[in-house]
């Protein structure tokens, strides 16, 4: 099923009404299990029991698995170790890092077979999950769902490797970027016209902020696609950003659940009643009690660059940011300060920390064009964001944020806003204090 063609055909509407909804009995369910959920054979057996529950209830199940926790990190480290003298070939990086998921898919299929079920594993290239050629961060373009659908109809469980696909032109394995199995699961749900995409992880839902940082964080029974998209793109890694984009465009009912709840203690998917566990990502009009601020996110992989004393004349911003854009370096926050005499300006902006060396190189090369300047940079910064669709209709959220941070003596280096979020850049040392403070400030603390 072509991801883009379906978008055109369905007009982006609720395109995944499946047989379960029509018949009211059986649902087509995509279940995704993350790295900690498949970390060893015992946990894979636990995953198989979650799958068993759904199959025994009459649901048709496709499972998407990540690699065992830590496996992908190890594979990435080996790639770097094998090519210390040059920037490694992205095609071979993908060939190596995609292997972690093949192991868990095969092991889960074996476990299910051992329990008496018909199960078969599938890698990205076998399905095939066709992607763009952006190796290491490829986008899914097309997943033909017909063959898997036939197998589900015949009572087989499909176990699919997350995180990967194939770039058809060069016929090479591709990967979707870290955390990409979430995206594999949502895309597969679109291709199979699934009723629901259940993302099982090590927390029992989406929380007001990362529960590892703030023990008082609360589980949100529902969160809108828009807010989840902001949370994910601003650093909450519970769902990969692209997976939320896809879920939003195709209106995939997506839930976040814990695989560590005993499989027998959970009810099988019933399309008439999905909402009593985990978090459901849904349309904003389905959320009755909307808070002004729903969540707080933080991103540690930020870097700040300041260009000092550059001539303040028309076109200078274009001469700085043009070459960065050409080099595919994404600039996020931008602050400009004109010197008191009005002749020169300082320009501060943020980029991904991993891009810092490349950005400095690009600026050096562009110096002839930009004119003389000094440059300072640091990756010892974090971006803290407050998110909520209620901000559209409430004033004062930003000033509350600035006051709360200043009361704690936390200095703000840069600010950016959109309709439903405010982000600030602060020193990394204050990250946890800032998240905790803002969590209380907006009344999000639970017991």
Query: What is the contact surface with Mg ion in residues (CB under 5 A)?
Result: 34, 179
**Quick check: helix, strand or coil at residue 189?**
helix
How many C-beta atoms lie closer than 10 Å to residue 409's C-beta? 8
* CB 299 to ligand ADP: min, Å: 11
For ligand ADP, which is the closer residue by CB, 62 or 220?
A: 220
Instruction: Output the DSSP codes for 20-80.
Output: HHHHSS--EEEEEE-GGGGSSHHHHHHHHHHHHHHHHTT-EEEEEE-PPTTHHHHHHHHHH
Residue 336 CA to residue 306 CA, distance in Å, equals: 9
- Under the binding rule (CB under 6 A), the answer on residue 388 touching ligand ADP is no
To the nearest whole angstrom, how small is the minimum distance from the Cβ of residue 39 to ligand ADP?
Answer: 9
Q: Which two tokens stand for residue 327?
A: 């080099």
In sequence order, what are the beta bridge partners of 140? 131
Binding mask 261-300 for ligand ADP (x = CB under 6 A): ----------------------------------x-----
Q: Is 138 in the site for ligand ASP (CB under 6 A)?
A: no
Tokens matching residue 345: 């300006």
- Residue 247, token pair as written in the block: 């879920």
Footprint (CB under 6 A) of ligand ASP, residues 21-40: 34-35
Cα gap 320→330, rounded to integer Å? 13
| Contact string 71-110 vs ligand ASP (x = CB under 6 A) | -x---------------------------x----------
Closer to ligand ADP by CB, 130 or 439: give it. Answer: 439
Q: x/- contact string, 225-264, with ligand ADP (CB under 6 A)? A: ------x----xxx--------------------------
d(CA 361, CA 212) in angstroms, rounded, equals: 37
Distance CA 381, CA 428 (A): 4
Half-sphere exposure of 218 (CA within 13 A, CB side): 16
Pattern 158-197, binding to ligand ASP, x per CB under 6 A? ----xx--------------xxxxx---------------
Judge whether 160 and 98 are in contact, CB under 8 Å: no
Q: Does 211 bind ligand ASP (CB under 6 A)?
A: no
SS3 317: helix
Q: Which of residues 194-213 bind ligand ADP (CB under 6 A)?
A: 201-203, 206-207, 209-212
Q: Would you tell me which residues interact with ligand ASP (CB under 6 A)? A: 34-35, 66-67, 72, 100, 162-163, 178-182
Q: Would you tell me which residues interact with ligand ADP (CB under 6 A)? A: 34-37, 66, 179, 201-203, 206-207, 209-212, 231, 236-238, 295
């Amino acid at each position: 099923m072509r991801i883009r063609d379906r978008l055109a055909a369905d007009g982006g509407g609720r395109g995944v009404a499946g047989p379960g909804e029509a018949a009211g009995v059986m649902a087509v369910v995509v279940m995704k299990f993350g790295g900690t959920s498949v970390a060893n054979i015992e946990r894979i057996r636990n995953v198989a029991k979650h799958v068993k529950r759904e199959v025994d209830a009459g649901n048709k199940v496709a499972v998407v698995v990540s690699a065992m926790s830590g496996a992908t990190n190890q594979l990435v480290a080996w790639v770097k170790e094998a090519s210390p003298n040059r920037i490694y070939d992205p095609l071979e990086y993908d060939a190596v890092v995609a292997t972690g998921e093949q192991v868990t898919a095969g092991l889960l299929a074996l476990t299910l077979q051992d329990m008496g079920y018909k199960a078969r594993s599938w890698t990205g290239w076998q399905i095939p999950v066709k992607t763009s050629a952006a190796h290491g961060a490829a986008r899914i373009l097309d997943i033909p769902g017909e063959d898997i659908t036939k197998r589900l109809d015949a009572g087989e469980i499909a176990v699919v490797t997350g995180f990967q696909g194939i770039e058809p032109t060069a016929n090479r394995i591709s990967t979707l970027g870290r955390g990409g199995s979430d995206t594999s699961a949502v895309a597969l749900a679109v291709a199979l016209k699934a009723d629901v995409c259940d993302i099982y992880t090590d927390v029992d839902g989406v929380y007001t902020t990362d529960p590892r940082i703030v023990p008082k964080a609360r589980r949100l029974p529902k969160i809108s696609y828009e807010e989840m998209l902001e949370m994910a793109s601003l650093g909450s890694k519970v769902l990969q950003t692209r997976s939320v984009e896809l879920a939003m465009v195709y209106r995939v009912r997506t839930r976040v659940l814990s695989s560590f709840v005993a499989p027998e203690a959970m009810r099988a998917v019933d399309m008439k009643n999905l909402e009593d566990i985990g978090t459901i990502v849904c349309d904003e009009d389905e959320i009755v009690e909307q808070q002004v601020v729903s969540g707080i996110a933080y991103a540690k992989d930020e870097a700040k660059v300041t260009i000092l004393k550059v001539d303040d004349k028309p076109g200078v911003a274009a001469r700085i940011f043009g070459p960065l854009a050409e080099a595919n370096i994404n600039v996020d926050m931008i602050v400009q300060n004109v010197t008191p005499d009005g002749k020169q300006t300082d320009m501060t902006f943020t980029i991904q920390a991993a891009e810092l060396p490349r950005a400095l190189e690009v600026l050096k090369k562009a110096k002839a064009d930009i004119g003389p300047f000094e440059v300072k940079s640091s990756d010892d910064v974090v971006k803290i964001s407050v998110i909520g669709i209620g901000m559209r209709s409430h004033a004062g959220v930003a000033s509350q944020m600035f006051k709360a941070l200043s009361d704690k003596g936390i200095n703000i280096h840069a600010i950016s806003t959109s309709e439903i979020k405010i982000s600030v850049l602060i020193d990394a040392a204050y990250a946890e204090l800032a998240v905790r403070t803002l969590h209380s400030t907006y009344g999000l603390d639970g017991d």
